[in-house]
Amino acid sequence: MELILAIAIGVLAASGVYLLLRPRTFQVIIGLSLVSYAVNLFILAMGRLRMDAAPILDRSAVNPGDYTDPVPQALVLTAIVIGFAMTALFLVVLLAARGLTGNDHVDGRLD
Amino acid sequence: MAEPMHMAILPILVPMAAMIANLFFNNLRLADRSVWLVRLNIAFGLALLVVAVALLVMLERLGGSLAVVYPLGNWPAPFGIVLVADRLSATMVLVTSVLSLAALIFATARWHARGTNFFPLFHALTMGLNGAFLTGDLFNLFVFFELLLAASYGLALHGGGRNRVKAALHYIAINLVASFLFLIGVALIYGTTGTLNMADIARAVPLIAPEDRGLFDAGAAVLGVAFLIKAGAWPLHFWLPNTYSAAAPPVAALFAVMTKVGFYAILRLWTLVFANSSGPELAFGQGLLMILGIATIAFGSIGALSSKALDRLASYLILVSAGTLLLAVGYNAPGVTSGALFYVVVATLAAGALFLLKDIIDQILPAEAQVLAVSLEIYGDEDENLDDDEEVSRTVPGSATLVTWCFAIAALIMAGLPPLSGFLSKFAMIAAALDVEAASAATWWLIGAMIVSGLFVLVAMVRNGINIFWTSLPDTDIPRIPTVEIAPIVMLLALCVALAFAAGPAMDFFTDTAAFIHAPGAYVSSVLTEPPTP
């Protein structure tokens, strides 16, 4: 499972970085989204991978080892929300730039 | 205030209240709405300034070795999020509130009406800045960073136009990438230390298992890259000059403090975690910060020399000051840090004033005259010999004289020439660097970079001043400069001049502050042993 997750993060990050470096704004925004998925999975993985363990303690006297770490899940939730909002904002700016320059090159260049 | 710790959250709450009040105000039907809108916002700006001063005064009264800790929701320290106000963060909050008040007053003249929602976004940026300075939690720092960035995206676009949108596009893209790097760094640090509280991280770092040490260092390095992007360090600064010179002047003035957030975050975490250990991370980080600092200064100085417009020049001056600060952090000596703290206050205020001044100069001198001055410099003046009756120049109007004086003061401060505070702060850094027993190569690099950059900045400022002020005045009458536009500039520069006169007490204060942040034990213990409030 660790291997599958690591490969998934790696593939997402690599394709995201490749797209980020492309000259079209649409490719940049897709690249940003892919990188954000990779980062979110990475944060989750930093809380150690556990199968079939709840993140919420439900009894008073419990062994914390039976549960998965809830903090990274809370962090991922925040990161997803913020990343999504920022991507949406970027999309608006991208459309404005498209409208003003007439093309979707990141430098607004005609080529 | 009965509970001193509640002061720590007020610099965040006041701009938030201002933001909400502005949103409600938009729906009000009033006879003289615009007048009241201006009054409302200046009142909130003043309130924030009062709160920031009160916070600093309160910290002074409590004694220098103490940080005021505010546990949000009253959760005990390593588990809940805390706000920590020590002298460093209180100083930065004060700088932010002074600069934001000045920019706010300036903006009420014309700029706030150039787009929608200027005031809410402006207060949101102030709130994000204050929050980033006050928080004691790494993930909370990320959230406040995002808050200030989201507001700054809106403000960078304020006024619209092709240039702004293009600059903002690059700015947003690079900052989104920086945010992801920030998250990766935070995740790695959480994965190895199991905590996000900065004080708790400082406590946990010596206990990290040796096999996890590399992972932690990688996390710290990735986090450092994110901060260096915000701080505008070479080679991660290419977004900065375009964004700052394209932004509306009051916005650019407030952006002057935004690069200082990166500096603050680096200084805070560096002194907390690495500066007092003697591991390989110390040597690596010290060398890297110093090299990056010198490279940033070099790039900023050359950029300043090459820039023909005042707003670009001011952006490159921001880079020079960012490099100087990185160099000082990398040098890692309390004396140098205290000089750097003095410098960050002075340089931020002067750079903000310069961005505002640029707008006034644009009003006095039409753009064509400025272009003419630049082309005259390149191609030479064809008829340099004036007629006899033209040699006696017309009387220079009072407003133009005032602007000239402001420019001269700003130039003296940015170049670090005596007798003003820019010189005193650079002198403090150099004197402290020379004070150690054996001056190493690093000392000479520090001194050389600071002095040479001062020369470059001086040449660039003088050349720009000649182009702007020694041209023929336009034949038409010079438009009257509104008092609300010139007053904030005079206020900022007067504050810099006053700091030169009050340099003794100010340096005492910064020396104590630097001693406090270079001995992180006091910070850690005051955060972690904060008694729960009933």
Domain count, chain A: 1
Do B180 and A108 lie within an 8 Å CB cutoff? Answer: no
Say yes or no: A77 contacts chain B, CB-CB below 8 A: no
Mutate to test the interface with B, among A27, A28, A34, A43 (most CBs of B within 10 A): A43
pLDDT bin (cut points 50, 70, 90) of residue B391 is very low
Least CB–CB distance from A78: residue in B143, B184, B190: B143
Is B139's CB within 8 Å of A78's CB?
Answer: yes
Surface-to-core class of residue B363, CB atoms within 10 Å of its CB (0-12 exposed, 13-18 middle, 19+ buried): middle
Q: Identify whether A39 is part of a domain.
A: yes
At B135 the three-state DSSP class reads: strand
Highest mean pLDDT among A8-17, B306-315, B480-489: A8-17
Cα distance between residue B160 and residue B165, in whole Å: 7
Residue B1: predicted pLDDT: 42
Q: Domain with A14 in it: what CATH number? A: 1.10.287
Q: How is chain B split into domains, by residue range?
A: 4-379+398-525
Question: Do B25 and B44 contact (CB within 8 A), yes or no?
Answer: no
Paired strand residues for B68? B85
Please give the Cα distance from B91 to B110 (Å, whole number).
30
Q: Which alpha helices (H) appear in B365-481, and where do they start and end?
A: 367-379, 388-391, 398-415, 421-435, 441-469
pLDDT score for A68: 80
CB spacing of B153 vs A35 below 8 angstroms: no
pLDDT at B3: 64
From the list B172, B173, B190, the residue facing A72 with the nearest CB is: B190
CA within 13 Å, CB half, B481: 25
**Inter-chain residue contact A90 with B176, CB threshold 8 Å:** yes
d(CA B179, CA A40): 12
Q: Give the SS3 label for residue B498.
A: helix
**Confidence grade of residue B438 (pLDDT, cut at 50, 70, 90):** low
Mean pLDDT over residues B513-518, rounded? 84
Tell me how long chain B is.
Answer: 534
Q: What's the pTM value of the predicted model, to 2 decimals?
A: 0.88
CA dist B250 and B155 (Å) reads 10
Assign 3-class secondary structure to B322-346. Answer: HHHHHHHHHHCCHHHHHHHHHHHHH
Instruction: Look at B301-305, B331-335, B340-344 and tell me which has the smallest mean pLDDT.
Output: B331-335
Say if residue B445's pLDDT is above 60: yes
Q: For all residues of chain B together, what is the average pLDDT?
A: 83
Least confident window among A7-11, B111-115, B134-138, B151-155: B111-115
Give B376's pLDDT tier (boundaries 50, 70, 90). low
ipTM of this complex prediction, to 2 decimal places: 0.92
Position B194 scores a pLDDT of: 84
User: Which pLDDT belongs to residue B386?
Assistant: 47
The shortest C-alpha distance from A106 to chain B (Å) reads 8
Residue of B nearest to A84 (CA): B176
Least confident residue range of B180-184, B248-252, B393-397: B393-397
For testing the chain A interface, which of B138, B158, B165 should be mutated: the one with the most A CBs within 10 Å?
A: B165
- Inter-chain contacts counted by CB atoms under 8 A, chains A and B: 82
CB of A39 within 8 Å of a chain B CB? The answer is: yes
Q: For the segment A82-99, what is each residue's pLDDT rounded down to a tens digit?
A: 988 988 988 888 888 888
Band the pLDDT of A12: cuts 50, 70, 90: very high
Domain that holds residue A93: 2-51+67-101
pLDDT > 50? residue B372: yes
- CA-CA-CA-CA torsion for B160, B162, B168, B174, nearest 10 degrees? 170
Q: Do B191 and A46 count as a contact with CB atoms less than 8 A apart?
A: yes
Give the pLDDT confidence of B119-162 residue by residue, as tens digits: 889 999 999 999 999 998 899 999 999 999 999 998 888 877 77
How many residues are listed for chain A in this entry? 111
Tell me which of B249 and A51 has the higher pLDDT: B249
The pLDDT value given to residue B395: 59
Q: Residue B172 and residue A89: Cβ atoms within 8 Å? A: yes
What pLDDT shows up at residue B2?
Answer: 45
* Mean pLDDT across B41-66: 84
- In this complex, is the C-beta atom of A42 within 8 Å of any C-beta atom belonging to chain B? yes
What is the distance in angstroms between the Cα of B173 and the nearest Cα belonging to chain A? Answer: 8
Summarize pLDDT for B231-262 with one digit per residue, the tens: 888 888 888 888 888 888 889 999 989 889 99
pLDDT of residue B24: 85
Model confidence at B380: pLDDT above 60? no
